[in-house]
Structures are given as structure tokens and as C-alpha cells.
């Protein structure tokens, strides 16, 4: 048997496309082969048939193929029992502390729903929150944590309208990235329309989020990216709900914007909120005027928030105000305090307690309690007239 036949018989896996072989000694150079010998130009050595067979046998005796690195050691397969721990062992797992991006309601690995009637100001509200997160500044009564990359997906506005909203926020001072996926712009690039009902689209979008190190993604809004879904069917929603859990487990917080139905609750199946950590409802106050633009009360209807932080999620009134130049900013105040002031104002104007309660959609007991406290503080007389102190409180 000549050299070539020996290599073919004992080492067929090392035959190259051009019909040559790699040296079994150095593992790099291409052998120069004639009938009886093979020469390695790298080592300057020649091998006869017997020597070559010895090299091959030694390699096989080591449990590996010549010119091949040993495959990396594979971890033992994981089974269900590996994930089942005693309670004491489970609580002893060393895990990083969960981060808060806008304390206390935008947290790491969370799912958040923001619901409101069309035109109430949902998009502006969440863009304001993202602006605060990426600039490391407060938003309303809430304080920022570590700035992280955020992505805002708009599923319905024209591209120029998205640009306008971003300009109105101002771009200076950003400490992390605020990324924008405009479905209108993507469509102009001939990309498929954003569609959470399409598993392929969901998987591709998730990969992009991970590649860009996005920690917070906003989907604005559900109606625009789930066209054709039966909104009242939990079964139709389940694949999307499972995808949201995938994002959570991958370290991504998802904030979903959705429309309010005629009942005053989120439109469609309540099963959407099963996995949610936080749900926020935006509603216009009773004395809202159209010329006031975006003005609403943010109320937390569901929250997985520690008890000691509950005062931070009390009803808060927001209003978007024009500033110098083309920018805008959000002003805010306690909605509870605003309601108290409105109760006193209405009583001073001669309304009875029952009518005030009906107008402000509060209990008659609350009206009575506010009135009693105002009288005790000398803000109001027994005849329901504001004192100078009371007028000062209203104006201040």
C-alpha cells in the first residue's frame, strides 16, 4: 500500500477538497506525497508508510483524530430536578438585585400596561417617562435610577408626527439611548408591518432588542400591532403573553399602550393583564377643557409594589405645558390635593355636598371629611364660605 492509499484508508476525514492531506505531526502544513514517502515542509521531515501509520495509531490511541482539536467538554444535561430546590436553598441563590429605572413603577423585568381613552395623552405620557429614564431625571413624583437603553415602537403615527413629538421633548442631556422604531418608516423601507400575531416577526424583533441591549421597550399601541385579533379572546392573546414572559426572562421590561373601552376599563379580554406588574389608567379630570390639551389623572389600578412605596403611586394629575422655544414639559400635582381644593371651591360657590360628590365622582363622606378638616384649619366657615386662609390655600 502506498502513502496515498494509507492516508485514504486510515484517515479519510482529512482529505482536502484539492485531494491533499494535512500533516498528522504538525497539524498545519500540507503533505507533499509521492509513492513511498510523505514530506512535511513545516517540520522538514519525511515519513514512510510505517512512520505514518504509527502517527495515526498514536492519535487514535489518545481518543482523537489527527489534526483535530479535542471537542469542548459538554456540560451534563439539565433536567427538571435541577430546577427544583428546597425553599431554603432557593432563597439562598445569589442573584443580582432587581433594578429600578423610574422608582417605583418602571422596574427591571416588568410588564406594564397603560390604558386610556383615545386622545387622552398616553403616547406623550410614556415618551415623557422614557425621556426621564434616558436622561436620568425625575418624571412627576417618580425618581430615576440607572439610565438604560429604551426603544419606543410607534405602530400608527406618520413618521413626521413621531419626529415632532421627539423634538418637543428636547434631545440634550441624554445618558443612554432612546431608540425609535416607527412602523411607518420601517414600511417605507419595505419591511413587513409590525405584527405581534406573527411569531416570526416577534422573534426577529426580540433578537433586535437583545442585540441593541434594550432594557425597556414600549409598544404603542396594541390595536395597531395586533390587527385582526379577537380582542375578547384570551386564547388569541396567549402567544403574545408568552412572548412577553420571554422578554421578561431575557431582562427586558415591556410597556404596552392600549385603548380604554366604553366601560372605562382596558378594551378586550382582562387576561391581558394576568402577567402585568403594573397597570395605569389615564383619565381626564371632571373639569377638563379641550383647550388644555393633554391633561389627565394617572391612577394605578394594579401594582406589585412594596407597601412602603404605595404613597408614591397615589393618583397624580399631569398636564403638558409649552415652554420657551419649541419644547414642552410635563407639570404635575397630587390629584388628591386637587380634588380637596375643588371640593372647597364648589362648596364656597353654594353647591350642596351631594351635588359636589356627584360632580367630582367621590363619596359624600369624602366631601364631608374635607369640609370638616377645612373648618378645623380655619379655611372655611360653618356656612361653607372660604376664609382668607382658604382662598390663600386655593391660590397657592
Ranges of each domain in the chain: 1-95, 100-326, 337-395
More confident of the two residues 191 and 337: 191
DSSP, collapsed to helix, strand or coil, labels residue 208 as: helix
The region of weakest confidence among 22-26, 194-198, 205-209, 262-266 is: 22-26
Residue 267 has what DSSP assignment? S
Task: Please tell me the total number of residues recorded for the chain in this structure.
Answer: 396
Q: Mean pLDDT in the chain?
A: 87
**Is the pLDDT at 258 greater than 70, yes or no?**
yes
Residue 11 C-alpha cell reads as 484517515
pLDDT tier at 392 (50, 70, 90 boundaries)? confident
pLDDT higher than 80, residue 68: no
Question: Are the CB atoms for 114 and 125 separated by under 8 Å?
Answer: yes
Asked if the model's pLDDT at residue 263 lies above 90, the reply is no
Does the pLDDT value for residue 331 go beyond 80?
yes
User: What are the tens digits of pLDDT across the range 377-390?
Assistant: 889 899 999 998 88
CATH number for domain 100-326, candidates 3.40.50.300, 1.20.1090.10, 3.40.50.720, 1.10.3720.10: 3.40.50.300
User: Does residue 236 contact residue 227 with C-beta atoms inside 8 Å?
Assistant: no
Asked if pLDDT for residue 60 goes beyond 60, the answer is no
Q: What is the pTM of this model?
A: 0.72
Q: Are strands 278-283 and 111-116 parallel, antiparallel or unpaired?
A: parallel
- Please give the Cα distance from 59 to 46 (Å, whole number): 18
Give me the pLDDT at residue 179, please: 98
How far is the C-alpha of 117 from the C-alpha of 127, rounded, in Å?
A: 17
Sign, CA torsion 290/293/295/301: positive
pLDDT at residue 48 tops 50: yes
pLDDT score recorded for residue 66: 47
What are residue 297's DSSP bridge partners? 283, 317
Q: What is the pLDDT of residue 71?
A: 59
Q: In 3D, which of 315, 370, 317, 366 has the Cα closest to residue 348?
A: 370
Q: Contact, 269 vs 131, CB < 8 A?
A: no
Amino acid at each position: 500500500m502506498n502513502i496515498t492509499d494509507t492516508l485514504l484508508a486510515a484517515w479519510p476525514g482529512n482529505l482536502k477538497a484539492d485531494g491533499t492531506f494535512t500533516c498528522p505531526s504538525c497539524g498545519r502544513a500540507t503533505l507533499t506525497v509521492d509513492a513511498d514517502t510523505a514530506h512535511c515542509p513545516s517540520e522538514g521531515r519525511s515519513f514512510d508508510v510505517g512512520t505514518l501509520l504509527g502517527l495515526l495509531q498514536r492519535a487514535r490511541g489518545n481518543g482523537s483524530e489527527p489534526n483535530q482539536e479535542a471537542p469542548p467538554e459538554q456540560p451534563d444535561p439539565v433536567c427538571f430536578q435541577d430546577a427544583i430546590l428546597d425553599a431554603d436553598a432557593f432563597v439562598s441563590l445569589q442573584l443580582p438585585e432587581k433594578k429600578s429605572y423610574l422608582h417605583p413603577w418602571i422596574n427591571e423585568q416588568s410588564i406594564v400596561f397603560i390604558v386610556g381613552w383615545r386622545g387622552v395623552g398616553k403616547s406623550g405620557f410614556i415618551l415623557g417617562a422614557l425621556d426621564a429614564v434616558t436622561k436620568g431625571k425625575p418624571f412627576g413624583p417618580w425618581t430615576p435610577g440607572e439610565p438604560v437603553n429604551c426603544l419606543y415602537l410607534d405602530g400608527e403615527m406618520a413618521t413626521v408626527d413621531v419626529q415632532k413629538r421627539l423634538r418637543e421633548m428636547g434631545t440634550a442631556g441624554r445618558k443612554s439611548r432612546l431608540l425609535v422604531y416607527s412602523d411607518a418608516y420601517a414600511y417605507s423601507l419595505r419591511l413587513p408591518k409590525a405584527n405581534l400575531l406573527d411569531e416570526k416577526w416577534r422573534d426577529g424583533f426580540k433578537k433586535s432588542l437583545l442585540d441593541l441591549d434594550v432594557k425597556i421597550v414600549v409598544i404603542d399601541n396594541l390595536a395597531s400591532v395586533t390587527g385582526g385579533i379577537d380582542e375578547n379572546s384570551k386564547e388569541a392573546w396567549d402567544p403574545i403573553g408568552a412572548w412577553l414572559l420571554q422578554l421578561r426572562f431575557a431582562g427586558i421590561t415591556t410597556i404596552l399602550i392600549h385603548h380604554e373601552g366604553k366601560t372605562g376599563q382596558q378594551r378586550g379580554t382582562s387576561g391581558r393583564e394576568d402577567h402585568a406588574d403594573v397597570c395605569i389608567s389615564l383619565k381626564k379630570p371632571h373639569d377638563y377643557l379641550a383647550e388644555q390639551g393633554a391633561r389627565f389623572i394617572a391612577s394605578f389600578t394594579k401594582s406589585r409594589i412594596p407597601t412602603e412605596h404605595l404613597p408614591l403611586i397615589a393618583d397624580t394629575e399631569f398636564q403638558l405645558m409649552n415652554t420657551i422655544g419649541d419644547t414642552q414639559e410635563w407639570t404635575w400635582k397630587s390629584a388628591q390635593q386637587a380634588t380637596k381644593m375643588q371640593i372647597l371651591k364648589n362648596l364656597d360657590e353654594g353647591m350642596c355636598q351631594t351635588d359636589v360628590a356627584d360632580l367630582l365622582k367621590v363619596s359624600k363622606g369624602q366631601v364631608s371629611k374635607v369640609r370638616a378638616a377645612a373648618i378645623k384649619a380655619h379655611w372655611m366657615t360653618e356656612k361653607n364660605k372660604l376664609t382668607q386662609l382658604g382662598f390663600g390655600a386655593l391660590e397657592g
